Amino acid sequence: MEKIAIIGMGMTKIEANKVSENFADMAWEAVNAALADAGMDIKDVSNLITTSNDFWDGRTISCMAVGDSSGAREKNCSCVEGDGTYGAFYAMARILSGSYPSTLVTGHTKGSESISSLITNAAFDPIYERSLGVDMITASAMQARAYMDKTGTTSEDLARVSVKNHGNAKNNPYAQLPMDLTVEDVLASEMIADPLHKLDCSPVSDGCCALILADEETAKKFCKKPIWVKGAAFCSDAYFLGDRDLAKPKSLVAAAKKAYAMAGITEPTRQIDLAEVYDAFTYQELMWAEGLGLAEYGKAKDRLKNGDFDISGTLPVNASGGLLSGHPVIAAGLYRMAEAVRQLRGEAGANQKDGAKTAVVQGLNGLCGQSHCVWVLGNE
């Protein structure tokens, strides 16, 4: 594969309610931060991808409404509906086509402007499921139950994810929910839907993230510390939750296998220095870490308990604080990529994993991880 690099990134602070900014305002902030980071002018970017979701935004063709403030005027602008990691994949594919030296990709969400349970309820089948009121939390609680039943993972194990990630967020200026927690605090928090407590769930959030991807020549022209794409792949599973084994992340295993093959990763636990995964709920961090081969199936809880996933551990997972500390839905995967870029550049401050060279990032699309997108990034 031709070499592709991430040469710029910009994040807004993730907040519960950015009442003073609309979508375009958030895009303006993130895009300009990414351009400044890359040392580029908007004229240096030939094309862009915006990533959004019409239901979350409450408007049709939401992705085009942020065009002007993203620098799309008189440029080739295309859109992805789904997680930002998929928008980034499209950006990468465009560069690989040979027609685009660099592509700007953005993702935005304002969870604050709607009722999240109604938005996620609308993702379910309108004939058979929606009227029953099922939403992302209910479905994820059932997935958590299935996973815990199959692996022996306990509520205490899940609580440790929350303690770790909210603690990591204390050193992340972009995080919404830095917190000092104990396992007891998590277990004492309100039961939302068994087995998920309130502190097992990510918050409702607003935010926008922008990345600039480029070919090798452009990367070397603009960027002192390009972060290289070593591998990227995604894979889907069945739509109906009832068709899947919810306790196992089958499509993630498949996506990781492809991305690792591209990146020459044969022993992920040894070759990968850190991971940023889609921890919309505590149990998901463990499930996805296993799907990525960072622990054997059912054993992520042991590595977590052992401290391996801490910033000081052998393989930090969500050193940024993850989505538990701020979850702007569509932008979420782009934030994970941007956080991995900070680490690989050595710019993660107090959360820095010393000597990090290779990171894996995972985004997802669809209910309970129907589809997963895996990126292997490296600084060499």
Partner 1 sequence: MAREDHLVISSGKAVQPFHYAVGLYGSKFFQELKENRRLVGSKCPDCGKVYVPPRKVCGGCFKEMKEFVEVGPKGTISTFTIVRYTFIDPETGVQRPVPYGYGFVRFDGADTVFQHFVELDEKHPIKIGARVETVFREKMEGTIRDILYFRIIEE
Q: Summarize as ranges the residues that interact with partner 1 (CB under 8 A).
A: 19-20, 58, 115, 117-118, 121-122, 126-135, 137-138, 141-143, 145-146, 149, 190-196, 238-243, 246-247
> What does the angle CA 249 – CA 251 – CA 255 come to, to the nearest 5 degrees?
115
**Distance (Å, whole) CA 334 – CA 253:** 20
Q: How far is the CB of 132 from partner 1 (least distance, A)?
A: 6
Q: How far is it, in rounded angstroms, from Cα 23 to Cα 16?
A: 14
Answer whether 91's CB lies under 8 Å from 103's CB.
Answer: yes
Helix, strand, coil % in the chain, rounded to nearest 5: 40, 20, 35
Output 36 or 132, the one with its CB closest to partner 1. 132
Write down the least CB distance from residue 358 to partner 1, Å.
34
* Nearer of residues 188 and 238 to partner 1, judged by Cβ: 238
* Cβ neighbourhood burial of 143 (10 Å; 0-12, 13-18, 19+): buried
Least distance CB 165 / partner 1 (angstroms) = 21
247 or 262: CB nearest partner 1: 247
Measuring CA to CA, how many Å separate 324 from each of 12, 242, 319? 17, 26, 12
Nearer CB in complex with partner 1: 58/349: 58
Nearest CB to partner 1, comparing residues 66 and 104 = 66
CB of 162 to partner 1, least distance (A): 17
Taking the complex as a whole, how short is the minimal distance between the CB of residue 22 and partner 1, in angstroms?
Answer: 10
Residue with tokens 């996620």: 120
